[in-house]
Amino acid sequence: MKQIITVNEDKCVGCNSCVRVCPVHANITRLKEGSKDEIVTTVDPKACINCGECVKACSHGARDYIDDIDILIDKLEKKDPIVLIVSSAIRTSFPKGKWRALLYWLRDIGNAKIYDVGYGADINAYMQHQYFERNPEAKLLTQQCPAVVNYVQMYRPELIKNLSPILSPEGCMAAYLRKYEKVREPMFLLSPCIAKSSEAAREQLFDYNVTFRRLEEFARSRKVNLNTPADFSFDGDLEGTIGRLYPMPGGMKNTLMMFNQELLIHTAEGPQTLYDRLERYAVTEEGKKPDVLDVLNCENGCNHGSATPSIVASLTEVESMMDSIAVQSVKDTQGKLLGFGKNKRFKDFDKTLKYEDFVTRYHSEELNRPAPTVADYNRIFQTMYKTDATSQNINCTACGYKSCHDMACAIFRGQNVRENCVNYLKHSLKDSYSQLKDVYDTCVEQISMINEISVEMQATQAQMKTSTDDISVKAEELSNNISRLQKFSQSCLEYYKDKKLENLTEADFAKMQQFIAAIGTMTQSYYEVAKEFADRSANIHEQIMTASEAVEALSQMSENLQEVVNSENASKSEPAPEPQSTMRDSIMFADLSKNRPSMVIHDDNGAEKNTTPLRVLDTDTENPPPAMVLHKDDDAKNPPPVMVLHKDDDEDKQTPPPVPVMVLHKDDDEDEQTPPPVPVMNHDDDTPDLPDDMLLVEGATRDPEEGTTSFEDALGSTGEFEGVGDMI
């Protein structure tokens, strides 16, 4: 079926008003694209009977309909010849003579012939009477309402046999004009009914349907004053009589009773009662059905149809107008005032009209809607937190359906979603609250741990600063000792440089022994300072490991918190944001394995050799460890806070320097000057291998029994050997 009802999804707020009023559940409620909680309700055109109830119920402007107003305007402006057939409800839709002004204006701006559908209603009443005369046992369901016909064809095809085969008043008028007046021009129906568009498509007697609401909007857009009195009359003198009563509830009943007062006629109007009545009618035995069931979709008939204008008459005014029309119609039809006798117009119909020209046929258009089984209901109820009979029969109707089972059936058919159920939302909120509480508790716990670790890190940082300061002191002490040793050596050199071996006296050899003893004392002192230096370095290493473990813990907590936040953000349409940078992102450690931190080993060219567990410096004085270098590998302008500990020399080299030396430098700074090399002693054999310019110094003796002469005693407070001046 052609889609007539439209939906503006941007205006839909998911209030379920349209679902509530739809008599056939032709709505499809779904989640908005990219959302997990906002819903939108659209129309299934294959299931819609175009009753227009959802359009009237929507207070947000999301529902509308399509008619043929644009085609009418185009033909009026082009002055194309057209025919307008006008529903009798125009008298109440544009009351107080406004309808005459409107039709006069339409005729004036275009090239149209205008006829009253009331005349077609007279034909319909006459042909209904003819049908009963031919089928006295018939049980008739009236057919003037296209929404009812759509319902029967789609949802109750077994009632097609009861549908009156006579064309609707609009169909009868169109058939009369086509077959008896030989009208060939495009034909427009002006009506208060949205569903008449589907009748136009089904019967193909009139071509277009234009609603009174759109006509009012059109007239306002052209600033037409409908209050201006107009001298208008229908073409062909074909104005209705008793047929003008059809727009009111029970209108057909009143007309049929004029022909046969013995007929048992029941009425049903309004979607809230009509379709339930039709369901009962369908299962009622034929012999127990009334002779006629006169039905209209709209509660107040066509006078307050699905597309009436804003200026439509009130119900009280409508009733008054219908009463006047009824009285006048009876007088005109029976001819009491004119003295022509009973049913004058219908006697004319006996002579001029053929019954077969006003008969139609209906075809089943039954929808194939699957029905859920008990297992299906239970499965769906489980997903909706409805686990017992009580919760499965709450029937609050907030979803728009009359019962929880109707809602579950709609979900089964793909016409609704559980997120549209209040009970589901309540339980989901409880679950969400519980989850949020867990998240809150987790966040509080993690933040507390972060605070504790932060305090520990501050303490570790202070310890590292203290240790670093101590290392600086020891490094300065080493440098001073080396400087004093160099001065001592220079003094010895100056003393012995001009002496020849054969000229050396016993005193000279004694002083040389003293110098050698002093060298030993200095070396021992050097190693003691170096050992303490190594101990300090080991302490810093332990503090670095502690800091790295703390940072790793902080990073893990940050990731845990981010995972918790992401789990909550997963319910939103937008993807969860990337986790923010953590301390681990800015502080890089070589390896934070499960066992212990590691360090990256580089060769002298800066290439990474391997990653090995970080180890404490060896403090064995007989096999002193290799030198250790702390440097920044990146750009000196924007270096990341990365600490890399590596060996400057090849690990395979078997002759490491005897003294551990710490050098602080930047590998990427070409201009950075490294400290000069330190003079070393080679102890490969028993004989000291002294430099050519090395002198012995008096006073540096080393007697095993007396102990070691102190470094200060050997060098003196000035760092020079006392008595050298006397010997020079």
Q: Is residue 177's pLDDT more than 70?
A: yes
In terms of C-beta density within 10 A (0-12 exposed, 13-18 middle, 19 or more buried), how is residue 346 classed? buried
DSSP 165-206: -BPPHHHHHHHHHHHTS---S-EEEEES-STHHHHHHHH-SS
Q: Is residue 591's pLDDT more than 50?
A: no
Reference 87, options 217, 195, 186; nearest CA is 195
The pLDDT value recorded for residue 604 is: 52
573 DSSP assignment: S
Token pair 């609603």 is at which residue?
211
Domain ranges of the chain: 5-61+369-420, 68-358, 431-571+582-664
Q: Mean pLDDT, the chain, as a whole number?
A: 78
User: What crossing angle do the helices spanning 315-334 and 251-259 adopt, rounded to 10°?
Assistant: 20
CA distance 463 to 650: 32
Q: Please, which pLDDT band fits residue 334 given cuts at 50, 70 and 90?
A: low
The pLDDT value recorded for residue 441 is: 84
Q: Is residue 407's pLDDT more than 80?
A: yes
Give per-residue burial for 220-253: e unless 16+ CB within 10 Å, then b.
eeeebebeeebebebeeebbbbbbbbbbbbbbbb
Q: Please, which pLDDT band fits residue 333 given cuts at 50, 70 and 90?
A: low
Contact 245, 332 (CB under 8 A): no
What pLDDT, in 10s, does the model give residues 136-148? Answer: 999 999 999 999 9
What pLDDT, in 10s, does the model give residues 660-701? Answer: 433 334 444 444 444 444 444 343 444 344 344 333 333 444
Q: Who's near 510: CB < 8 A, 6+ residues apart? A: none
The pLDDT value recorded for residue 606 is: 53
Q: Is residue 20's pLDDT more than 90?
A: yes
The pLDDT value recorded for residue 446 is: 78
Task: With residue 209 as reference, give the H or E element that holds it.
Answer: strand 208-211
Contact 147, 377 (CB under 8 A): no
Q: Residue 278, Cα to own-chain centre: how many angstroms?
A: 42
The pLDDT value recorded for residue 608 is: 52
Neighbours of 638 (CB within 10 A): 6
CA distance 29 to 43: 9
| Torsion on CA atoms 379, 380, 382, 388, rounded to nearest 10 | -90
CA distance 184 to 182: 6
Q: Please, which pLDDT band fits residue 130 given cuts at 50, 70 and 90?
A: very high
Q: Helices (H) and strands (E) in the chain — how many of each?
A: 21, 19
Q: With pLDDT > 70 as the criterion, what percentage of the chain qualifies? A: 73
The pLDDT value recorded for residue 431 is: 81
Q: Please, which pLDDT band fits residue 518 given cuts at 50, 70 and 90?
A: confident
- Among 356-365, 451-460, 655-664, top mean pLDDT goes to 356-365
Query: Residue by residue, what is the 3-state secondary structure of 450-462?
Result: HHHHHHHHHHHHH
The pLDDT value recorded for residue 680 is: 40
CA distance 598 to 592: 7
The pLDDT value recorded for residue 205 is: 95
3-class state of residue 17 by DSSP: helix
The pLDDT value recorded for residue 244 is: 85
CA distance 530 to 475: 9
Task: With residue 508 as reference, give the H or E element that holds it.
Answer: helix 506-569
Average pLDDT over residues 31-42: 89
Residue 464 to residues 254, 458, 538, 541, Cα–Cα distance (Å): 105, 10, 11, 9
Contact 521, 708 (CB under 8 A): yes
3-class state of residue 30 by DSSP: strand
User: What crossing angle do the helices spanning 98-109 and 69-78 adopt, rounded to 10°?
Assistant: 50
Q: Please, which pLDDT band fits residue 472 given cuts at 50, 70 and 90?
A: confident
CA distance 632 to 588: 12
Q: Is residue 288's pLDDT more than 50?
A: yes
E-state strands within 232-307: 265-269, 292-296
The pLDDT value recorded for residue 419 is: 92
The pLDDT value recorded for residue 707 is: 45
The pLDDT value recorded for residue 133 is: 92
Helices (H), 570-695: 583-586
Reference 186, options 72, 357, 87; nearest CA is 72
Average pLDDT over residues 33-55: 92
The pLDDT value recorded for residue 612 is: 43
Contact 714, 522 (CB under 8 A): yes
Q: Is residue 126's pLDDT more than 50?
A: yes
Residue 657 to residues 421, 531, 604, 653, 681, Cα–Cα distance (Å): 81, 14, 15, 10, 10
The pLDDT value recorded for residue 390 is: 94
Helices (H), 61-187: 69-78, 90-93, 98-109, 117-134, 146-155, 169-179
Q: Between residues 354 and 639, which one has the greater pLDDT?
A: 354
111 half-sphere exposure, CB direction, 13 A CA radius:
10
The pLDDT value recorded for residue 564 is: 65
Q: Please, which pLDDT band fits residue 245 given cuts at 50, 70 and 90?
A: confident
Q: Please, which pLDDT band fits residue 521 given cuts at 50, 70 and 90?
A: confident
The pLDDT value recorded for residue 465 is: 78
Q: Residue 452, Cα to own-chain centre: how many angstroms?
A: 38
The pLDDT value recorded for residue 695 is: 36
Q: Is residue 615's pLDDT more than 50?
A: no
Q: Between residues 468 and 236, which one has the greater pLDDT?
A: 236
Give the strand pairing for 63-65 and 81-86.
unpaired
pTM of model > 0.75: no
Least confident of 278-292, 328-342, 542-556: 328-342
Contact 21, 271 (CB under 8 A): yes
Q: Is residue 215's pLDDT more than 80?
A: yes
